[in-house]
């Protein structure tokens, strides 16, 4: 498949995004960028959120990681589903009752200004790293598939993607993204379905034989009961629950989309529907992973192995799609990864801009001209920050999804502790102590994880978010004000 044809496909896809942006920008107000005028159909939001959560990480990393981690990721998904129920019935009512734009305003209402600013700052750090790592993976694939052929440097590829995203988001922000996410989800799922069909046909399997081949494969191991393992069931399930609450329920990016629904009931339907179909989609990608390894084995395709384990597993799906699956699968893959490239960052940039302008610049109290000026400056600033992070991690190896969740355990842990303490207790705290707690507890968690691994061969895995949150809660109890006890 020629690089020129791929470039034409990408250009056509971007043209569709610009058309959507033009249509959604009509009759937009200053608030549309942040709230979507609170008129989004919940069904559209739910479907679009699937692609936003999956992005290029699920698209590429999950199929590849099957070769080293079996189906253990599904344990994490089970925990996610329970976490989404918590978001639906605990967090959403709070956000809607307080009529929040930035969800971190809750922390000011509950604890004070310093806690509020600290919570928002931790989101900004978490989201910047998460968005950058997700875009890094997609940009690397586009670089390999397209831009290397034109001798375009990698940093130029990243800049081009960020500029294109700015073109279709800077006017209406979240109002546009709700609809572009729907398109992106469609192409992500289409690529997986087409790839499964191609592999099924190549292996001469019908549907029932395909299902049997996957479920009988040695990689089809769902539960890990080894307590010392980082993929132990209880560690994965609990961390899946907590990371869903933290990375979705306490994430301005995801909640901003949900808060564009017309009312609380529609927002709750959105989350419950989204969680069900997301779990199904993730299982689909795990099944695709087994089929990719079956294909490579049958046709003698050599994969990179080090010390008996597959390495650079993120390369498996792109390599087979672009070099072995034929033109239709290649086109669907390019559309899928292009969708992943944009969905990885567009809503993140909008959420980062929303949080920073509302939480630190008090933009809601400025006139229309100043609002537009500040919004565009902040949007540009975060684009530069994400570009910088991408370049710092551009030589990283391994599956990106594990890196994202490990980073999330440290950055979202304090946020999770703050919200759980605020929701389930009525205690007041010394507001000035919170910034120090939120910096020290992730460092202490990192040290404890290192200690457990070296002394007891016990890996916390994704459970570092639980330890981090518990340490934060214990610290908050210590700084409870005496007169409130």
What's the CA gap between 456 and 92, in Å, rounded?
40
Side-chain-facing half-sphere of 445: CA atoms under 13 Å: 29
Residue 84's contacts (CB-CB under 8 Å, 6 or more residues apart) are 244, 248, 271, 272, 274, 275
**The pLDDT of residue 108:** 92
**The pLDDT of residue 129:** 85
What's the CA gap between 290 and 73, in Å, rounded?
13
User: What's the pTM value of the predicted model, to 2 decimals?
Assistant: 0.80
Q: Which of 366, 358, 411 is CA-nearest to residue 173?
A: 358
Largest CA distance in the chain: 73
Q: Which of 275, 289, 217, 287 is CA-nearest to residue 60?
A: 289
Return the CATH number at 96.
Answer: 1.20.1730.10
Q: Count of domains in the chain?
A: 1
- Whether 385 maps to a domain, the answer reads yes
Q: How does DSSP classify residue 261?
A: B
**The pLDDT of residue 32:** 59
- Whether 472 maps to a domain, the answer reads no
- Whether 75 maps to a domain, the answer reads yes
**The pLDDT of residue 111:** 94
Residue 106's contacts (CB-CB under 8 Å, 6 or more residues apart) are 94, 95, 98, 100, 419, 422
What's the CA gap between 483 and 427, in Å, rounded?
10
What's the CA gap between 284 and 289, in Å, rounded?
9
What are 261's strand-pairing partners?
40
Domain limits for position 339 = 39-399
- Phi, psi angle pair for 295, to nearest 5°: -65, -45
Q: Which of 469, 437, 475, 477 is CA-nearest to residue 239?
A: 469
**The pLDDT of residue 99:** 86
Residue 346's contacts (CB-CB under 8 Å, 6 or more residues apart) are 165, 168, 169, 177, 180
**The pLDDT of residue 419:** 94
Joined tokens for residue 385: 């920050």
What's the CA gap between 40 and 262, in Å, rounded?
7
**The pLDDT of residue 382:** 92
Q: Which of 15, 52, 29, 27 is CA-nearest to residue 351?
A: 52
**The pLDDT of residue 439:** 94
- Whether 6 maps to a domain, the answer reads no
End-to-end C-alpha distance for the chain, whole angstroms: 68
Please name the residue ranges forming H helices in 87-173.
92-97, 105-110, 113-145, 154-169
- Whether 454 maps to a domain, the answer reads no
Q: Dihedral sign for Cα 35, 40, 45, 51, please.
A: negative
pLDDT in tens, the chain (485 residues): 677 887 888 888 888 888 887 787 776 655 556 565 667 788 888 888 887 777 666 677 888 888 888 899 999 999 999 999 999 999 999 998 888 888 899 999 999 999 999 999 988 988 888 888 878 877 887 888 788 888 899 999 999 888 888 887 766 667 777 788 888 888 888 888 898 898 899 889 898 999 999 999 999 999 999 887 778 898 889 888 988 898 889 888 788 888 888 889 999 999 999 899 889 989 998 999 999 999 988 888 888 887 778 777 878 888 888 888 888 888 888 888 777 667 767 778 888 888 898 888 888 777 878 888 888 899 899 999 999 998 988 876 655 666 776 777 788 889 999 999 999 999 999 999 999 999 999 999 999 988 888 888 777 766 788 899 999 999 999 999 865 54
- Whether 51 maps to a domain, the answer reads yes
- Whether 155 maps to a domain, the answer reads yes
What's the CA gap between 271 and 96, in Å, rounded?
14
Q: Which of 340, 346, 372, 373 is CA-nearest to residue 167?
A: 346
- Whether 69 maps to a domain, the answer reads yes
**The pLDDT of residue 485:** 44
- Other beta carbons within 10 Å of 416: 25
Joined tokens for residue 436: 């120090």
What's the CA gap between 54 and 222, in Å, rounded?
20
């Amino acid at each position: 498949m020629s690089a020129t044809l791929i470039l034409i496909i990408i250009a056509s896809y971007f043209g569709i995004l610009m058309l959507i942006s033009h249509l959604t920008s009509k009759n937009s107000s200053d608030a549309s960028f942040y709230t979507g005028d609170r008129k989004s159909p919940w069904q559209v939001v739910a479907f679009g959120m699937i692609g936003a959560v999956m992005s290029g990480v699920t698209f590429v990393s999950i199929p590849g990681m099957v070769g080293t981690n079996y189906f253990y990721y599904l344990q994490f998904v089970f925990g996610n589903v329970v976490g989404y129920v918590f978001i639906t019935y605990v967090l959403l009512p709070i956000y809607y009752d307080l009529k929040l734009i930035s969800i971190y305003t809750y922390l000011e209402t509950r604890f004070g200004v310093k806690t509020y600013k600290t919570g928002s700052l931790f989101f900004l750090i978490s989201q910047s790293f998460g968005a950058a790592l997700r875009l890094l993976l997609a940009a690397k694939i586009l670089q390999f598939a397209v831009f290397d052929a034109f001798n375009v440097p990698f940093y130029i590829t990243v800049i081009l993607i960020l500029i294109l995203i700015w073109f279709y988001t800077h006017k209406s922000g979240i109002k546009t993204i709700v609809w572009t996410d729907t398109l992106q989800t469609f192409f992500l799922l289409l690529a997986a379905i087409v790839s499964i069909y191609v592999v099924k046909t190549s292996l001469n399997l019908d549907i029932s034989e395909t299902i049997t081949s996957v479920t009988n494969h040695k990689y089809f191991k769902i539960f890990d009961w080894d307590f010392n393992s980082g993929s132990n069931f209880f560690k994965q399930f609990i961390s899946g629950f907590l990371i869903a609450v933290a990375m979705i329920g306490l994430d301005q990016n995801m909640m901003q989309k949900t808060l564009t629904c017309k009312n609380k009931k529609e927002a709750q339907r959105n989350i419950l529907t989204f969680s069900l179909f997301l779990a199904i989609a993730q299982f689909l990608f795990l099944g695709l992973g087994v089929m990719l390894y079956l294909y490579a084995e049958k046709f003698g395709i050599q994969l990179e192995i080090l010390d008996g384990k597959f390495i650079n597993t993120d390369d498996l799906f792109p390599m087979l799609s672009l070099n072995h699956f034929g033109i239709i699968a290649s086109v669907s893959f390019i559309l899928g990864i292009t969708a992943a490239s944009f969905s990885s960052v567009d809503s993140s940039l909008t959420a980062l801009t929303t949080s920073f302008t509302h939480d630190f610049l008090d933009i809601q109290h400025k006139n229309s001209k100043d609002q537009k000026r500040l919004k565009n400056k902040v949007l540009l600033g975060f684009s530069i920050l994400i570009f910088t992070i991408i370049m710092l991690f551009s030589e990283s190896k391994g599956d990106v999804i594990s890196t994202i969740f490990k980073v999330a355990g440290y950055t979202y842990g304090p946020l999770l502790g703050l919200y759980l303490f605020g929701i389930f207790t009525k205690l007041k705290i010394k507001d000035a102590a919170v910034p120090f707690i939120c910096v020290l507890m992730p460092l202490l968690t990192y040290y404890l994880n290192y200690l457990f691994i070296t002394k007891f061969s016990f890996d916390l895995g994704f459970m570092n978010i639980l330890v981090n949150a518990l340490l934060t809660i214990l610290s908050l109890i210590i700084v409870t004000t005496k007169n409130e006890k």
